[in-house]
Amino acid sequence: MGAGLTGMALLLSACTAPGGDEENGGDGGAGSVLNVGWNEPFRSLNTETANGNAVANAIVTYLLNDNFVYYDDELELQQGELGTVEQVSEDPLQVRYTFADDATWSDGTPVDAADIVLTWAAKSTNYNTGEGNRTDDGEIQENEGGEVYFDSASPGSALIQEFPEISEDRKEVTFTYSEPFADWQIELGLGADGVGVPAHIVAKKALGEEDPEAAKQAVLDAIENEDTEALSEISNVWNTGFDFTSMPDDEDLLVHNGPYQLADFQEGQYLTLTKSEEYSGPRAGNIDTITYRYNEDPMAMVQAIENGEVDLTQPQATADVLAAAEAIDGVNVDTDDGATYEHIDLTFDNNGPFDPASYDGDEETALQVRQAFLKTIPRQQIVDTIIDPLNPGAVVRDSFTQVPGSPWYDEIVANNGADEYAEVDIEGAQALLEDAGVEAPEVRFLYGASNQRRAQQFQLVKESAEQAGFVIIEDADDNWGTRLGDGTYDASLFGWQSTNTGVTEPDANYRTGQQNNYGGYSSQEVDDILTELQTELDEGRQLELSIELESHLHADAFGVNIFQHPELLIYRDRVQNVSSTAVSPTMFWNFWEWEVS
């Protein structure tokens, strides 16, 4: 899975805790309490699905489950508590996962091969027999006619085409790749929910198997034997069975293997985690209760910090938010570039102004209209007006794959064709539209209605594009995230947050038909480059391929990137050992080191 969506629309709620005196521990001092402010409610325990692939979910599941590897705040991979991952053969590439002896689900069932094999099978798409049954809004439904469809995709997992070798006690699993894979170390061991949802619970719900050991074996048998009848039911549960927006009655859904457990969840208001009595690992943490309190309004979150209702938050950064936070006594404000970057994508397959089908299949005409629109995007003005007051010296992001300041960034930007859209060129846009013979093309522009910063950006884009002759139709929608890919808009503005530093991460965004390719973009040349990137281990060649990839995206007018989000980490003096890392789960990466006074 690639990047997580950010800036999703939220349920607006008052910043109030479950009860008690927040300043003194929430329950009269019976245990240490930390109140965390976040802008989007949790909705799924399975972060590998299309619906679950969001930071709001990952920051919760990361505390509920252990993993094999994780990133520290220097983006260095560290070994997690589930066990070890190692390459045991180079040709063919073989990767072995060895589970720790004490790796156990909270109901006493061992964490083992069945869990990681289920995650691999789901992400690989190798077992899918159909394309999934979706509503008009794009929500995945139960499979029809016994088909198999796991709502996930990962090119690395797809390269594992053989059922793995499993030790007798199921504590060792060895996967063999059909080709070399550059990011083997993070393919199955990095997930925010560890190795994924518990296989024995999936089998219990899908196949009616009550005994945990028998349930695990049933999952393994279904995958090894390609039993489509069983896999159809398994994929149904895997896709949506772990989605909920308030405290579930079914305790099976709360089974976890990490240091915290879900104790309370009031829809749209707060979610509470408490230390798990079943956990004995080293990441047990110092805080007894962590409550996530939801509010999309960043100024309201700052007010909650000032009132002592919230101890720690990462709200969307604006100049007003920064000034307000810095004015509060006893509060720390750390500023930096965050993991999220802002971008505008165009839609290629909806019979809109950027789709060749609108011009009787004329690819060149559609390309000219796309190029004309991108020439009007006032990227530097957006950065100067909205971002520079927060992060002086902020730059326009000119790379689809690299963060400004990263080792490859300058060389990629110098060679990827980004200079075509370096400055607003109204005359050039008008000339392209005239040459294409297209007058006043209408562009439906989708963005989050309640996001003030994106509303500002939209207005700047609208004013500029209309000077060139475009008709910009505002499509502001708080449910924009559920509409991505549904063809009802022509341009979209949102943010991607990186989940890892691997060279294969862009695959999900730009490959034909991939999960995050919402605009229906398709290029055989790009697909071939992404395929080669998966198996290329030489860093020099990886850089060359990244330049080629980005050159095609710019030449095809896929869209434009605008800026790296400025990040504000705001926390009260009572909280120690807090820092953030530039990938999901951001400030939660070292939760076990947090302390409160």
Q: Which residues pair with 207 in a beta bridge?
A: none
The phi and psi torsions of 491 (rounded to 5 degrees) equal: -140, 145
pLDDT score recorded for residue 2: 41
Ranges of H-type helices in 208-246: 212-224, 228-240
DSSP helix/strand/coil, 24: helix
pLDDT score recorded for residue 535: 86
Q: Which residues pair with 4 in a beta bridge?
A: 497
pLDDT score recorded for residue 516: 87
Question: For the ranges 14-18, 72-76, 337-341, 343-347, which has the lowest average pLDDT?
Answer: 14-18
Residue 482's CB: how many other CB atoms inside 10 A?
16
Is there a contact between 42 and 265 (Cβ–Cβ < 8 Å)? yes
C-alpha span between 576 and 596 (Å, rounded)? 6
- What are the CA-CA distances from residue 223 to residues 126, 173, 184, 506 (Å)? 10, 14, 21, 28
C-alpha span between 555 and 418 (Å, rounded)? 9
Which two tokens mark 554? Answer: 């710019």
Residues contacting residue 290 through CB under 8 Å, at least 6 positions apart = 33, 34, 36, 63, 260, 272, 273, 274, 591
Nearest to 576 by CA among 561, 566, 564, 591: 591
Domains of the chain plus CATH, in order, are 66-242 (3.90.76.10), 338-565 (3.10.105.10)
Amino acid residing at 346: L
In the structure, what pLDDT confidence band is assigned to residue 203 with cuts at 50, 70 and 90? very high
Q: Mean pLDDT, the chain, as a whole number?
A: 91
- The sign of the dihedral angle between the CA atoms of 377, 378, 382, 388 is positive
pLDDT score recorded for residue 503: 85
pLDDT score recorded for residue 190: 87
pLDDT score recorded for residue 5: 41
- What are the CA-CA distances from residue 475 to residues 347, 366, 492 (Å)? 14, 22, 9
Q: What is the largest CA-CA distance in the chain?
A: 73
Q: What percent of the chain stands above pLDDT 90? A: 75
Is there a contact between 99 and 82 (Cβ–Cβ < 8 Å)? yes
In the structure, what pLDDT confidence band is assigned to residue 384 with cuts at 50, 70 and 90? very high
In the structure, what pLDDT confidence band is assigned to residue 26 with cuts at 50, 70 and 90? very low
C-alpha span between 328 and 489 (Å, rounded)? 42
Which two tokens mark 297? Answer: 């309004």
Q: What is the mean pLDDT of residues 14-24?
A: 34
CA triple 409-414-420, angle to 5 deg:
115
pLDDT score recorded for residue 63: 97
C-alpha span between 487 and 506 (Å, rounded)? 22
DSSP H or E stretch at residue 413? helix 409-415
Amino acid residing at 310: V
DSSP H or E stretch at residue 259? none
Q: What is the mean pLDDT of residues 572-585?
A: 91
Pairing, β 491-497 against β 471-476: unpaired
Instruction: State the Rg of the chain over Cα.
Output: 24
pLDDT score recorded for residue 98: 98
Question: For the ranges 51-65, 134-148, 569-583, which has the lowest average pLDDT?
Answer: 134-148
129-134 contacts: CB < 8 A, separation 24 or more? Answer: 129/228
- What are the CA-CA distances from residue 526 to residues 309, 348, 413, 530 (Å)? 49, 15, 18, 6
Residues contacting residue 195 through CB under 8 Å, at least 6 positions apart = 65, 67, 68, 82, 111, 115, 116, 119, 188, 189
Pairing, β 442-447 against β 595-596: unpaired
pLDDT score recorded for residue 565: 86
Q: What is the mean pLDDT of residues 198-220?
A: 98
Q: How many CA atoms lie within 13 A of 8 on its CB side?
A: 24
pLDDT score recorded for residue 73: 86
530-567 in b/e form (b: 16+ CB < 10 A) is bbebbbbeeeeebbbbbbbbbbbbbebbbbbbbbbbbb
DSSP H or E stretch at residue 344? strand 331-346
Is there a contact between 420 and 373 (Cβ–Cβ < 8 Å)? no
Residue 376 CB-density burial (10 A; 0-12 exposed, 13-18 middle, 19+ buried): buried
Residue at token pair 């095809």:
556
Q: What is the mean pLDDT of residues 241-246?
A: 97
pLDDT tens digit sequence for 121-173: 999 999 999 999 988 777 899 999 999 999 998 889 999 999 999 999 999 99
- More confident of the two residues 201 and 480: 201
Residues contacting residue 536 through CB under 8 Å, at least 6 positions apart = 180, 182, 503, 542, 545
Q: What is the mean pLDDT of residues 70-88?
A: 92
Amino acid residing at 285: G
pLDDT score recorded for residue 505: 84
Is there a contact between 82 and 194 (Cβ–Cβ < 8 Å)? yes
- More confident of the two residues 417 and 482: 417
pLDDT tens digit sequence for 251-278: 999 999 999 999 999 999 999 999 999 8
Is there a contact between 151 and 48 (Cβ–Cβ < 8 Å)? no
pLDDT tens digit sequence for 433-479: 999 999 999 999 999 998 888 999 999 999 999 999 999 999 999 88
Is there a contact between 10 and 300 (Cβ–Cβ < 8 Å)? no
In the structure, what pLDDT confidence band is assigned to residue 403 with cuts at 50, 70 and 90? confident
pLDDT beyond 80 at 533:
yes
Q: What is the mean pLDDT of residues 216-242?
A: 98
pLDDT score recorded for residue 193: 87
pLDDT score recorded for residue 515: 79
pTM (two decimals): 0.80
pLDDT beyond 60 at 24:
no
pLDDT score recorded for residue 13: 24
Amino acid residing at 163: F
